[in-house]
Structure 1
Amino acid sequence: MAREYIQKKFDREIEKSGVRIKDADQLKVMENVFDDQTLLALYKLVHKKRISLIGGSISTGKEANVFSGEDENGKPIAIKIYRIQSANFKAMGDYLAGDPRFSSVRKSKKEVIFAWTKKEYSNLTRAHDAGINCPETIYFDRNILLMEFCGEGDVPYPQLRQVKLSKEEAAEIYAAIIRDMKTLFNDANLVHADLSEFNILFDGEKHIIIDMGQAVTPDHPRAIKFLVRDIKNINRYFSRLCDIRDEEEIFKEIVGEHRMMP
């Protein structure tokens, strides 16, 4: 299909379904950034009435753009769109390789991106079901993930690094994050693999763990290395805010006394 034809179909479907574009320039931004595969996925989501409003940009990351939106009932949602053309294909493949859930994924860029989207959906669902405070998943298709919007009104909650905390608040959040790492490993059967102050939000009372596309199961060949990196990242950040624990002690609490930290 020609891109122009796909775009016209998408525009007509939006108009027919009553889907609103909150920012008049927003669709133009999406036209300029996203390719035919993304437009097709958006078209399907509109057709299935999963989206009733497409809002402004929440964030632009290395691999994906996140937009605000609303579902068919007017409930706020986040629309995460992985960029097929510019995402780091090799880095994603490194995280997928060794994950038994995705061992059958072939090496084409499109298939890796689609698998990555499914992987984040799966990881967030497992984490949420284990009691982790993270965005609740709604739906995914191709390279688009719909999930709970974490924010107030149109404004997303800030990243942890943007929040000023007292020593007491920092100590409480630090301890809670360590508990979450243990829950992820033992109950959700996951290692976040990119946990830092950039991938944790704060709603004013509690933290919210986000961005779990790269999370791996403990049997992944690099899972322990990733876990150690997560521990070091959290200790590095909180070391200037509150008292921190020994990294080896945290590691053993998470994986068990029988394991030595590499």
Structure 2
Amino acid sequence: MKKELEGKIKRLDNSVDKLRIKRKDSDSLKVTENVFDNATLKALYTLSNKGIVQALGGSISTGKEANVFLADGEEEEIAIKIYRISSSSFRSMEDYILGDPRFSNIRHNKRDIVFAWTKKEFRNLMRAKQAGIRVPEPITTERNILIMKFMGENGKPYPLLKDIKIENEDGQMIFETVIDYMHKLYVDANLVHGDLSEYNILIDPEDITPIIIDMGQSVTLEHPRADQFLKRDIENILRYFKRYKVNESPESIYARIKEPEN
């Protein structure tokens, strides 16, 4: 068992080294300091020891708060989202954490906020999936690391909505599905996404269906700013889909989303 664990740790070490080699010196230093600090590496080792992470692959995306990496799981490819503790925006996270009754007892320091945020995204994804919304299936969390099923094929992630070119008819179909997702999220999952836009929606090229991602900031309806966040999501979606001849009003979409199930 010890040799097997050492082998897993060595593979992770080698994979991290390869990630550094692929980057320029300045980028390498940034990734090393902000993502693969000692605590995060230990958390990856824990996940490796549990058999959840078999080998770490290349970078999928880099966001304001987190980096996402491709990895091999037990039976399939997985996505590893690592929230950067040292450089995450503590204040912006607090806006979404404070007021969420699920996290009323956390301490107000950067590390605990980031750990709570990671668990929050896991729980939000679980709720969304249970409500029938297509999202990356969450697998587990460890400190500032969220493990999800990989949304893509052959190591290549599905494209973001903002990056694809489609006909008006397909755009209108995607719009209707997104509004249905927002309705299910509100009525069935008791959540508002809070940052929904063409930057947080993947498109499965095979059937042109949307996949909602980045749900760390999603809040329950009890949050004091939930209604404000919902209206902002609606404005973002309507702004984008105007290019596909969607001319709905914010008020009509707001009513559709909040309409109770029959």
TM normalised by structure 1 equals 0.88
**Cα distance between partner residues in 2 of 1:244 and 1:149:** 34
**Cα distance between partner residues in 2 of 1:213 and 1:67:** 17
Q: Residues 148-203 of structure 1, C-alpha deviation per residue, up to 9 Å, x if partnerless?
A: 10011111011001000100000100011011100000001100000000000011
Q: Residues 41-66 of structure 1, C-alpha deviation per residue, up to 9 Å, x if partnerless?
A: 11211111110010000000000000
Equivalent residue of 1:196, what SS? Answer: coil
- The Cα of 1:25 is off from its aligned counterpart by 1.5
Query: Structure 1's 16 and 236: CA in aligned 2 closer, same or farther, altered over 3 A?
Result: closer
| 1:177 paired to 2:178 | yes
- The Cα of 1:234 is off from its aligned counterpart by 0.2
**Cα distance between partner residues in 2 of 1:109 and 1:33:** 14
| 1:15 paired to 2:7 | yes
Aligned position for 1:237: 240
% identical aligned pairs: 49
Deviates more, 1:242-251 or 1:106-115: 242-251
Contact 1:66/1:81, CA 8 A, preserved across alignment: yes
Aligned position for 2:62: 60
**Cα distance between partner residues in 2 of 1:16 and 1:194:** 37
Aligned residue pairs total: 245
| 1:227 aligns with one of 204, 226, 230 | 230
The runs of at least 4 consecutive aligned structure 1 residues that moved more than 6 Å come to none
**Cα distance between partner residues in 2 of 1:105 and 1:23:** 31
Task: Specify the code of the residue in structure 1 equivalent to 2:233.
Answer: D
Task: Specify the code of the residue in structure 1 equivalent to 2:98.
Answer: A
Contact 1:19/1:46, CA 8 A, preserved across alignment: no
| 1:216 aligns with one of 219, 226, 241 | 219
**Cα distance between partner residues in 2 of 1:232 and 1:253:** 14
Equivalent residue of 2:244, what SS? Answer: coil
Query: Structure 1's 88 and 17: CA in aligned 2 closer, same or farther, altered over 3 A?
Result: closer
Contact 2:195/2:229, CA 8 A, preserved across alignment: yes
- The Cα of 1:225 is off from its aligned counterpart by 0.2
**Cα distance between partner residues in 2 of 1:22 and 1:40:** 14
- The Cα of 1:17 is off from its aligned counterpart by 6.1
Aligned position for 1:260: none
Deviates more, 1:30-39 or 1:44-53: 30-39
Contact 1:18/1:52, CA 8 A, preserved across alignment: no
Question: Which blocks of at least 5 consecutive residues in structure 2 are unaligned?
Answer: 22-27
